[in-house]
Amino acid sequence: MKQKFATMKAAARANPNSDHATRDQHLSKMADLITENSDAIIAAICEDFGHRSPIETQFGETLNALADIKHTRKKLAQWMRPEKRSVGMHFLPARNEVRYQPKGVVGVISPWNYPFSMAINPTIGALAAGNRVMIKPSELTPKLSALLAILIAQYFEADHVTVITGGVDVAQQFSALPFDHLVFTGSTKVGQLVMQAAANNLTPVTLELGGKSPAILDSEYPMKLAVEKIVSGKLFNAGQTCISPDYALVPAEREADFVATVTATARRFYPSIFDNPDFTAIISEAHFSRINGLIEDAQAKGATITEIYPEEVGKPANTRKMLPKIITNTSDDMKVMQEEIFGPLLPVVPYNGVDEAIDYVMDRPHPLAFYGFSNNSTFVEKLLHKPLAGGVSINDTLLHIVQNDLPFGGVGTSGIGCYHGFDGFKTFSHAKAVFHQSKINARSAMFPPYGKTMDRLLGMLR
């Protein structure tokens, strides 16, 4: 791993700022990798999960990455142009500009929940910015990780993009390399360790973490419309999505209607669970047990668990598919209200008045995502003005992350920095300030020895 890194650093030193044609070629290669191997990618991810809906893999992984590449190739020449900046009046006719230059070698540590797109999407931004990339995929998706290593080696030179596979010990060594930028997607706990390792090299980091992303329902918003978006966002990938709606804040008088509508909508979307090819399994036995532990803890502390599929309770399953559940009568001491769920459980928190709902969110760590359902502009503006969150979708869930011209990132415990589109290009570039002095200038008036001339000049500048 260290030798590969050294080779990449040497290559970046030899060619520190590739032109548009070269960068576009690399993006084209990545598009070819995806289109020519999509079936193999889908199959590998499905095997890693025990079962992963092929449709969800296409939406969340391959098509998502292809759309990002298409947008980036279309805009890249524009992004690469020097950016003109204004000049202070006293320095005219000089001129200012910002030039975006590659940082060098970028490290990407990707997660298991979207093992392909979360490895490739940051790589797209890094390649667009002219960098070289080392990828460390998750050990929890060994089939996809091994396939990714093979495909990257087939489509890219080893000194331009490479994949390092291995377990936790390899990830620790990887994060300790002196990258020019490091991207990590995963839990807040591991993100802290990655940031500590990067700090030893003063490596800048982009951390895409998680947290408890709320959905707030206005008292007058159509229940069916809101629930359809919340349920589809919650159960996509069986809730194993960092921006999944973690819990729902619902007007107290609408709570019973909300629970009934969630139940009916889930059963309409997924008539069954265990034998349904559209419903994804939980990634591992450890995560399956963790989610069951959240349910048991909530029950022991007084929560009500609503089984959406009571007829399938106790039914044997060949995979780690988990039956979706609604949790009501929640309290702050329950683990399900403290930890990111990352599974098909939906806690419901009743509120009285929008200010109470907003205070509930603001009393907790900043979420990665925030969802508001309202046609009332005053209600929406309150949601957008007060709580701080990484990203927001109004009257929908998840879709802000696939807008190629919007940044994706968290804030506080949900992350640091962002990427996607031009924001990703900037993240993986150094914005180099350039001042061009004109032939006609008054620079000599600032030379020592200082005297009355300098006093008059300072007087003019005050």
Question: Which active-site residues does the annotation give?
Answer: 208, 242
Say how far apart CA 276 and CA 101 lie, in whole Å: 49
> Which residues make Cβ contacts (< 8 Å) with residue 450, sequence separation at least 6?
none
Tokens 């199959």 belong to residue: 43
Say how far apart CA 365 and CA 372 lie, in whole Å: 18
Asked if 347 and 248 count as a contact pair (C-beta separation under 8 A), the reply is yes
Q: How distant, in Å, are the alpha carbons of 83, 94, 96, 458 from that of 438?
A: 18, 5, 11, 21
Q: Which residues in 365-393 are b (16+ Cβ under 10 Å) and which e? A: bbbbbbbbbbeeeebbebbeeebebbbbb
**DSSP structural state of residue 426:** H
End-to-end Cα distance, the chain: 56
The CA-based angle 87-90-91, given to 5 degrees, is 50
Asked if 134 and 5 count as a contact pair (C-beta separation under 8 A), the reply is yes
Say how far apart CA 227 and CA 255 lie, in whole Å: 12
Asked if 314 and 216 count as a contact pair (C-beta separation under 8 A), the reply is no
Which three-class secondary structure state does DSSP give residue 248?
Answer: strand
Say how far apart CA 266 and CA 362 lie, in whole Å: 29
Alpha helices in 110-201 (DSSP H): 117-128, 142-155, 168-175, 188-199
